[in-house]
A and B are shown apart, each in its own frame.
Chain A
Amino acid sequence: MNLEGLEMIAVLVVVVLFVKVLEQFGLLEASYDDSVEDELELSAVRHRPEGLEQLEAQTRFTRKELQVLYRGFKNECPSGVVNEDTFKDIYSQFFPQGDASTYAHFLFNAFDTDHNGSVSFEDFVMGLSILLRGSVQEKLNWAFNLYDINKDGYITKEEMLDIMKAIYDMMGKCTYPILKEEAPRQHVEIFFQKMDKNKDGVVTIDEFIDCCQNDENIMRSMQLFENVI
């Protein structure tokens, strides 16, 4: 049979339709990639924190305070863990004028001590315990950890610049006086001048703690949020 061009196409179409009908009957397995969706479903598991007594022992909060904290936490995050997007969402609501997402990202990394991509209630409460009930040393430690983005023990100028830009972003554009582009950079320079004693371009933890302990303003402001809970 001598098939013309169009006839060949017609035959092809018929064959394709035939295959589709067979798939409907399940005789031919369709090899689609829909197993990924199932995995995502499984991972939305709920996380339950350790018992109240253990948390009481590990943190410096009283039982009642832990209860209040957990209730608020669970209300916002019924699944028991905060992932980064929710975290950014919540934090951004406190700073409506600017863009708090970058800083929230750094904050998230600071809270997520085991670096598993989500902040559980334990992480949350441990972080808060340090910030609110910890000694000045611990607080400064925590702050250093926040600034040290890659957690290598040194704060470089680039890291500090990132942090500074993130903080300035939270302010937004509508400020008075209007800040110039180099404001973060200048701020970083001032910071490094203050902190970097040996002028090696990085700030270590000891330089940091030393310098902060000698600065009255910083010491006083560390006590500012004592009575938040």
Chain B
Amino acid sequence: MAAGVAAWLPFARAAAIGWMPVANLPMPVAPTEKNKRQDELIVLNVSGRRFQTWRNTLDRYPDTLLGSSEKEFFYDEETKEYFFDRDPDVFRSILNFYRTGKLHYPRYECISSYDEELAFFGIIPEIIGDCCYEEYKDRKRENAERLMDDQEDNKDSKLPNMTFRETMWRAFENPHTSTMALVFYYVTGFFIAVSVITNVVETVPCGSSPNQKDVPCGERYTVAFFCMDTACVMIFTVEYLLRLFAAPSRYRFMRSVMSIIDVVAILPYYIGLVMTNNEDVSGAFVTLRVFRVFRIFKFSRHSQGLRILGYTLKSCASELGFLLFSLTMAIIIFATVMFYAEKGSTSSKFTSIPASFWYTIVTMTTLGYGDMVPKTIAGKIFGSICSLSGVLVIALPVPVIVSNFSRIYHQNQRADKRRAQKKARLARIRISKTGTSNAFLHSKRNGLLNEALDLTGSTEDERHHNKTTSLLESQHHHLLHCLEKTTTPSQHPPSFPLPQNHEFVDEHLYEQNCLEGALQNYTSRSPSLSSSGGLTGTCCSRRSRRKSAHLPNSAMSPGPPHGLQELSAVHIHRSDRPPLSTSRSSLNLMPDEAMRLNCKSGQITTAIISIPTPPGTTPEGDGHGPPSPSVQTTAGSSVVKVSAL
């Protein structure tokens, strides 16, 4: 029973009294309402905007959030209202659904946000009313196509272990993947152009011998043209065979349009080779040459616009068919009429109805060659009606085709734009991600500094600026810290050097570690480095390849050259330092040792923490100084490399 008519149930029940006198059996007992609630207003507070409605209205659809007891989870005792932290604009449509029984989809609303709201309130999108359902489905399909496009682009990323065949196929399909493919692409394009131009120039009359009329170039320079043709066909054949070899499904490739065009383009040459001087079929041979013009279609691999045009024509096949059909109908009608109208006049060109077809076509398409003109009055009248109607009949399907083409073209443009923007977007997203990870490392150092400060009882103002992280951040960092501790390898003998924790490092320190591991420079090795050297050992071999290795916790970053300089600078820098002050382990020492440390160098409180990050990646920076130059300028103070090791 549709819930919308629940309000009429009392009426239907009352009307059932009409059956009573007719019934022979006693009626069942009616259900009683235990506590008959008076209908009351309830307040729904959606992000500050208050909606009020009768409770009965919401009860109409008991399988949704608002209609069931699920809304009690959102009840606020103090304000006696139901609070939802959702979009109030979309909620308007949802509440109207309860009120009127019809769910409408507002056009200005984003389709995915609307979907999310529907999912939250437990309403299935299928009950959107007929007035809005089409729009909803169209937008949803568009969105899905877009998402699919994006996913397809993702799949383009190179898999590490592709067979030679697969690589070749990918190179053919997408010339931008490697330089070899690009070269091949341009070479084939060039040869297609050469072949087409050759075909055209072949027929141009090329100067004349004294006693003969103009001879086409093809017959004058037969050998040259033959050689060019051979060369082109050779290239095309090789290309076709290579594609055939590389295709993942040869049978499907052979049936595809492009391969058929390829075959048709090169076949005439071979057939020509086979039957050279046979008089009977030489006529057919000449006809075959016509097919050489199909080579121009090979350009469609090189031009996206051509492909779009072809796709449009294919998708508008029904409109084109309709155009053709209506034109044919009109041609036959008018040809018949013109024939009979012009039958009377002498020396009329309208000798038969098929002969009149030519006139009708020329007139309807407004060409008007003038080789056939009506001479009688009736003929002229009907001829003018013919041309007027021709304009109409042709103009009708054309906008449909044009709009189809426009839609497909724009879709393609959008896809290309999205692909181009994706790189920039991903780069920006990556930067913000490194920002968060750097924030973690930063606050970790501050946190450790905090511990040290706590242990050494420092003053308030040194401490307060380290408490800038919010509660959420500090909890997040605590979580990451716990993970570090979980994955620490088991304890070494409990003396100095102390066991080193398994830690997150930022990418540059990681690179630095790798470099050091590669350089095999262990002279100023603090114990922490040696333990992490094992860590870096395995990954450096991958790093050296500079491929897209997945660094832990950091996004891809091809290290800029200046980064390397920094690293080396830092390296030298550190080698001057005694191990204790550069070792993180110093901060893990027992309180009394830390005290000793404090007394010794008294510089922990004023230490400058600097990481060699590229300028600008961490927006908050270290708060203490400019990134890279600081490495050199803080030569005076001890640099506490907290997370280096």
Q: Of A7, A68, A90, A147, which one neighbours B8 at CB under 8 angstroms?
A: A90
Whether A164 pairs with B26 at a CB distance below 8 angstroms is no
- CB contacts between A and B, total, < 8 Å: 114
List of A residues within 8 angstroms of B367 by Cβ: none
Contact flag A93-B2 (CB < 8 Å), given A14-B381, A72-B8, A208-B21:
yes
- A91 proximal to B (CB < 8 A): yes
Q: How far is the CA of A220 from the CA of B30 in the complex (A)?
A: 12
Task: Give the complex CA separation of A229 and B54 in angstroms.
Answer: 17
Q: Which residue of A68, A73, A93 is within 8 Å of B1 (Cβ)?
A: A93
Q: Is A191 an interface residue (CB 8 A)?
A: yes
CA distance A13 to B386 in the complex (A): 13
Q: By the criterion CB–CB under 8 Å, are B18 and A107 in contact?
A: yes
Interface residues on B, range: 35 or more
Pair A217/B25 contact, Cβ less than 8 Å: yes
A143 to B341, CA, bound (A): 77
- A9, A91, A218, A228: the one contacting B20 at CB < 8 Å is A218
Q: Which of B21, B22, B32, B376 has the most CB of A within 10 A?
A: B21
Q: Which residues of A contact B25 (CB under 8 A)?
A: 217
Among the listed stretches A51-59, A124-132, A175-183, which one makes contact with chain B, having 4 or more residues with CB under 8 Å of it? Answer: A124-132
Which chain B residues lie closer than 8 Å to A91 at the CB level? Answer: 8, 12, 15
B381 to A10, Cβ gap below 8 A? yes
Q: Say which residue of B22, B32, B381 sits within 8 Å of A187 (CB atoms).
A: B22
- Inter-chain CA distance A2–B612, complex, in Å, is 106
Q: Are A146 and B18 neighbours in the complex by a CB distance under 8 Å? A: yes
Q: Find chain A residues with CB under 8 A from B385 CB.
A: 13
A91 CA to B1 CA, complexed, in Å: 10
B9 at interface (Cβ–Cβ under 8 A)? yes
Chain B residue at smallest Cβ distance from A111: B15
Q: Chain A residues near B482 (CB, 8 Å)?
A: none
Q: Are A68 and B26 in contact (CB under 8 A)?
A: no
**Residue numbers in B under 8 Å from A220 (CB-CB):** 26-27
Contacts A14-B381, A90-B5 given: A228-B22 contact, CB under 8 Å?
Answer: no
Which B-chain residue is minimally distant from A67 (CB atoms)? B39
Q: Does B472 contact A (CB under 8 A)?
A: no
The interface residues of chain A lying within 8 Å CB-to-CB of B420 are none
User: A167 near B: Cβ within 8 Å?
Assistant: yes
Contact for A167 among B10, B19, B30, CB less than 8 A: B19
Is there contact, CB below 8 Å, between B17 and A68?
Answer: no
User: Which of A23-74 touch B at CB < 8 Å?
Assistant: 64, 68-69, 71-73
User: Chain B 362-397, CB within 8 Å of chain A: the 1/0 string?
Assistant: 000000000000001110011001000000000000
Q: Give the CA-CA distance A63 to B208 in the complex, in Å.
A: 111
Q: Is A225 a contact of B21 with CB atoms below 8 Å?
A: no
Tell me if A225 and B382 are in contact (CB < 8 A).
no
Would you call B159 an interface residue if the criterion is a C-beta within 8 Å of the partner chain's C-beta atoms?
no
**B14 in the interface (beta carbon within 8 A):** yes
Interface size class of A (residues with CB under 8 A): 35 or more
- Residues of B near A96 (CB, < 8 A) are 1
Within 8 A of B (CB), among A144-188: 146-147, 163-164, 167, 187
Contacts of A68 in B (CB 8 A): 39
A85 at the interface (CB under 8 A from B): no
Verify if A116 is at the interface (C-beta below 8 Å from B). no
**In the complex, chain A residues 1-20 whose Cβ is within 8 Å of any chain B Cβ:** 4, 6-7, 9-11, 13-14
* A143 and B20 contacting across the interface, CB-CB below 8 Å: yes
Question: Which residue of chain B lies nearest to A7 when distances are taken between CB atoms in the complex?
Answer: B378
CB distance from B96 to the nearest CB of A (A): 12
B29 to chain A: closest residue by CB: A224
Judging by beta carbons under 8 Å apart, are A221 and B20 in contact?
Answer: yes
Supposing A6-B341, A94-B5 touch, asked if A164 and B22 sit within 8 A by C-beta, the answer is: yes
Is B11 an interface residue when CB atoms closer than 8 A count as contact?
yes
A217, B33: Cα distance in complex, Å: 23
Question: In the assembly, what is the distance between CA of A93 and CA of B4, in Å?
Answer: 10
> Is A227 interfacial (CB 8 A cutoff)?
yes
Taking A10-B381, A90-B8 as contacts, is the C-beta distance between A225 and B13 under 8 angstroms?
yes
A167 touching B377 in the complex, CB below 8 Å, given contacts A90-B8, A142-B17, A222-B17: no
* CB of A159 to closest CB in B, whole Å: 12
CB of B283 within 8 Å of the partner chain: no
Question: 8 Å CB contacts to A: which residues of B86-111?
Answer: 99-100
Is A140 part of the contact surface with B, judged by Cβ < 8 Å? yes
In the complex with contacts A10-B378, A143-B21, A228-B14 CB distance below 8 A = yes
Given A90-B5, A110-B18, A228-B14, does the pair A221, B27 have CB atoms closer than 8 Å?
Answer: yes
| A167-B22 in contact (CB<8A) | yes
CB distance from A48 to the nearest CB of B (A): 19
Judge whether A218 and B18 touch: CB under 8 Å: no
Nearest-CB distance from A122 to chain B (Å)?
14
Q: How far is the CA of A127 from the CA of B7 in the complex (A)?
A: 16
Residues on the A chain within 8 Å of B5, using CB:
76, 90, 93-94
Question: Is A139's CB under 8 angstroms from B17's CB?
Answer: yes
> In this assembly, does B344 line the interface, its C-beta being within 8 Å of a C-beta of chain A?
yes
Inter-chain pairs besides A124-B11, A131-B15, A143-B18, 13 sampled, C-beta below 8 Å: A4-B378, A7-B376, A73-B7, A76-B4, A91-B8, A107-B15, A164-B22, A187-B22, A208-B21, A221-B20, A224-B16, A224-B30, A225-B14
- What are 8 A-B residue pairs whose CB atoms fall within 8 Å in the complex? A71-B54, A90-B8, A94-B1, A94-B8, A127-B14, A131-B14, A142-B17, A220-B26
Q: Which residues of A contact B (CB under 8 A)?
A: 4, 6-7, 9-11, 13-14, 64, 68-69, 71-73, 75-76, 90-91, 93-94, 96, 107, 110, 124, 127-128, 131-132, 139-140, 142-143, 146-147, 163-164, 167, 187, 190-191, 208, 212, 217-218, 220-222, 224-225, 227-229
